[in-house]
Structure 1
Amino acid sequence: MKYQIIDNVSDLEEVCRFAREAEAVMLDTEFVRIRTYYPQLGLIQLFDGERLSLIDPTVIDDMSAFESLLNDGAVLKVLHACGEDLEVFRNAFGCAPFPMVDTQLMAAFLGHGLSTGFAALVQEYLDIELDKSESRADWLARPLSDKQLDYAAADVFYLAPLFELLEQKVSEAGWWDAALQESELLVDKRGVKTDPDNAYLDIKGAWQLQPEQLAILKPLATWRMKEALRRDLALNFVFKEQDLWAVARYGMTSQKQMEKEGFDIRAIRRHGERIIAIVKKAQKQPKDEWPAKIDRLMDYPGYKQQFKALKDQVKKASQASGLATEFLASKKQLNQFLSWVWKKDRDAERLPDVMQGWRKELLGDKLNALMK
């Protein structure tokens, strides 16, 4: 397994020029995300079938050649379990690989579980055992060790033969177009950004709060997200989610009360006054401006029975297709469907996953019929 380190613009332009002549390229990234809101890109692995390149974006000041490769519609980009990689690319380059296929999704169309790892597939299909001991390494530190570089290179070197095998099997099974659709759906989902004004809806336990308390939680959650974005800091490193909920729940307006509840003293010192000001302002908000109570689907009449009926239909589709039930329609996707029916009046502009693409004919239409 030979590879070259790419640490300057001219070499990057050369490897990207060769890569754009290939029908498909293998891609992967190594990044660090511990305290930051955004993933910090440390290394890019690129394999065009002949040249394996480890690109160091920390020292190259012009990555436009790589951005052009990402956007080249004539070259298929192959990745594995690429949800976070998509976020890395969007943050670093403002775009996602196009067109793209995910081998984890391809494997799911062959009956594998949706979370099947790369090493497990390489073991099964190529009979090669990969060393994954460097998966938690610090990819921003320099120099990178030979062990780290070998580990990173292996992720795209073995991706190529794995992709060839999976492509053949998926095509023979008639799922190739569906695999491309599912990969595109993943790109779309990972591209959705949370609106800071709606960040309160993502706070665990928000549904437990009354409108008066939500009127406090909403501006607090908006402030926390904007602060996280501004400082590139993970949300809980700005202010812990459970503490934010408690402030809204009890309408806290003193730092002593926060200390008594066991909040992080550093967070209180840094943000206490700001939080108290937000709470006091929210408490003066007119009642007609309070957010609506959050309705949970599971509290709707007949939810359990309806969900079970949908789940039974998913099992039938699973038995007929050979696809895992969780891949066909996860609990989240079934709830998305129910929300579409009950809360969105089957809005054609906001179709749930099961009413789009390959899922619609296989499963979605049957689920929809059950709800009539």
Structure 2
Amino acid sequence: MDEFQVIETPAAFDEAVRRLRDGEGPIAVDAERASGFRYSQRAYLIQMFRRGSGTFLFDPPQIPDFSALQDAIRSEEWVLHAASQDLACLREVGLDPERIFDTELAARLLGMPRVGLASVVEELLDIKLAKEHSASDWSTRPLPQSWLKYAALDVELLVDVRERLGARLEEDGKAELAAEEFDAVLHRAAKPPAAEPWRRLSGIHAMRSPRNLAVARELWLSRDALATELDVAPGRLVPDASLLAVARTLPSTRRALADLREFNGRASRTELDRWWGAVERGLATTDLPQVRVPSDAPPPPRAWAARHPEADARLRLAKAAVTEVAEQMNMPVENLLTPDHLRRVAWTPPAETTAEAIGEALRALGAREWQVAATSQRIAVAFVEAAQSVEDATSDAS
């Protein structure tokens, strides 16, 4: 078996930069994080492959400056699988492409039934790709050879996959719309930080008391501070379910907290003073959270029929029309048009029910030109039919 070397010295890095610069064609790129183990989402290994250059495994914690690599390959096409998952950690070390080809997104646009890398490789190249290390702790040092082999294979086959997918996109007449999608992924703005990130606690939506929510908030904030300090995934310290168990129970003493059987996790007792302090703050605060968080999003569609019958009719008929277009184009409906975009336009339609007005509304929400071209006319027709159906139903009732 080939011995894989991790690039962690200035000399090895400079040689890798030179060879990647002198290679041919697109550059396959992947990154491995330690999600589920570390708090940060930083890259702990970055893999690259280019024909005529070879495969390179970079150790980001040991490389203080990636600018020479960025300068050498910035203008080339980078091939990534599910690029949105890796772009942030690549940018964190200064690696940012000018153009990309996303093999997972291409597979979706082609209507492939399974779009994971192993499935795509098997279908296109007839090669079985083992994924046994995908959930490993990539902050481990030294990295085992079996892990490095797995990481190298992830990029060594990507250029071949890109070529097969590119040919299929051309055959299906989807090359231009795919380019729009790749560009949208590359330039999509990062989501702003959540105003109340503690509300991401799994299961918290069932909690209806402001006091219980206040305790949950303080526990989450305390856990998050400790996780940041230790660079450990929060759930590995104390699981969400344990924090919610405390918030539901509202123990009145430190001893009652310690005796709570549902409160477990490796830091549940070693950091008991921290958790008890959080409980005390939650019990004492006058800054109680709202149970319902104001939102500009439409209500859940299941409530539309009672609250807004015409919007409900618009959404039902437009969904059926968009689904039909997606089937004709052989792609998932969510790739043809983001479901939230359709819900928002159906709930608050433009003043004029025309394809042009619908298209402008969709563009304002972030839809791409090809999506507008494929759906706006069908949505406009569905909205007109919806208005007529509601009018007819009203006339019949009277």
User: Would you call these one fold, judging by a TM-score over 0.5?
Assistant: yes
Question: Helix, strand or coil: the match of 1:267?
Answer: coil
Question: 8 Å contact 1:251–1:279 — kept in the other structure?
Answer: no
**Which moved further from structure 2: 61-70 or 24-33?**
61-70
Instruction: Quote the residue 1:279 is aligned against.
Output: 282
Cα 1:149–1:201 change in 2 (3 A) is: closer
SS in 2 for 1:301: helix
Cα deviation, residue 293, structure 1: 4.6
Bigger Rg, structure 1 or 2: 2
Q: Given the two structures, how large is their TM-score scaled by the length of structure 1?
A: 0.77
Amino acid at match of 1:64: S
Deviation digits for residues 20-62 of structure 1 (CA, Å, limit 9, x no counterpart): 4655211112333332122453432211211123233144344
Letter in 2 for 1:110: L
Deviating above 6 A after TM superposition, structure 1's stretches of 4 or more consecutive aligned residues are 1-4, 303-306, 343-350
2:210 paired residue number: 212
Q: What's the % identity of the aligned pairs?
A: 22
Aligned residues: 360
Structure 1 residues 28 and 204: CA distance shift in structure 2, 3 A:
same
Task: State the SS of the aligned residue for 1:29.
Answer: strand
1:56 aligned partner: 58
Stretches of structure 1 lacking an aligned partner (at least 5 in a row): none
Provide, for residues 298-327 of structure 1, a one-character-per-residue CA deviation record: whole Å limited to 9, x for no partner.
Answer: 563328876644442332012221113354
Which of the residues 321, 332, 335 maps onto 1:324?
332
Instruction: Call closer, same or farther: CA 1:164–1:142 in 2, change over 3 Å.
Output: same
Distance apart, 1:78 and its partner CA: 0.4
The 1:177/1:249 distance shift into structure 2, 3 A limit, reads: farther
Change (3 A) 1:55 1:176: same
CA 1:225 to 1:337, structure 2 compared with 1: closer, same or farther past 3 Å? farther
Q: Deviation string for 1:2-32 (max 9, x for gaps)?
A: 8974332233234324434655211112333
* Aligned ranges 1:31-180 → 2 under 5 Å: 31-39=33-41, 41-57=43-59, 58-69=61-72, 72=74, 74-91=75-92, 93=93, 96-113=96-113, 116-136=115-135, 139-180=138-179
For 1:232-287, what per-residue CA distance to the aligned partner results, in whole angstroms no more than 9, with x for missing partners?
222323443234344445555544444436112742515322312331343x237x
Structure 1 position 359 matched with structure 2 position 371: yes
Do the aligned residues in 2 keep the contact of 1:313 with 1:366 (CA within 8 Å)? yes
- TM-score using structure 2 length: 0.73
What's 1:338 paired with?
343
**SS where residue 11 of structure 2 aligns?**
helix
Q: Is the 1:52–1:153 contact (alpha carbons within 8 Å) kept by the matching residues of 2?
A: no
- Select 2:305's aligned residue among 302, 305, 315: 302
- The residue matched to 1:48 in structure 2 has which SS? strand
2:376 and 2:238 mapped to 1: Cα distance?
A: 41
CA deviation string 1:160-217 (max 9, x = no partner): 122112112213323223223323444566832533x321342334443447244554
> Is this contact kept in 2: 1:199–1:225, CA < 8 A?
no
Alignment partners' CA distance in 1, 2:377 and 2:17:
44
- Aligned-residue offset at 1:106: 0.9
Deviation at 1:77, TM superposition (A): 0.8
Aligned residue identity for 2:179: L
Is contact 1:40–1:88 with CA below 8 Å preserved after alignment? yes
SS of match in other structure, 2:52? coil
Structure 1's 315 and 94: CA in aligned 2 closer, same or farther, altered over 3 A?
Answer: same
In structure 1, C-alpha distance between the alignment counterparts of 2:341 and 2:247, rounded to whole Å? 27
| Partner SS, residue 317 of structure 1 | helix
In structure 2, do the counterparts of structure 1 residues 341 and 9 end up closer, same or farther at CA, with 3 Å as the change threshold? farther
Q: RMSD across aligned C-alpha pairs, in angstroms? A: 3.9
- Name the aligned partner's letter for residue 172 of structure 2: A
Retained in 2: the 8 A contact 1:20–1:75?
Answer: no
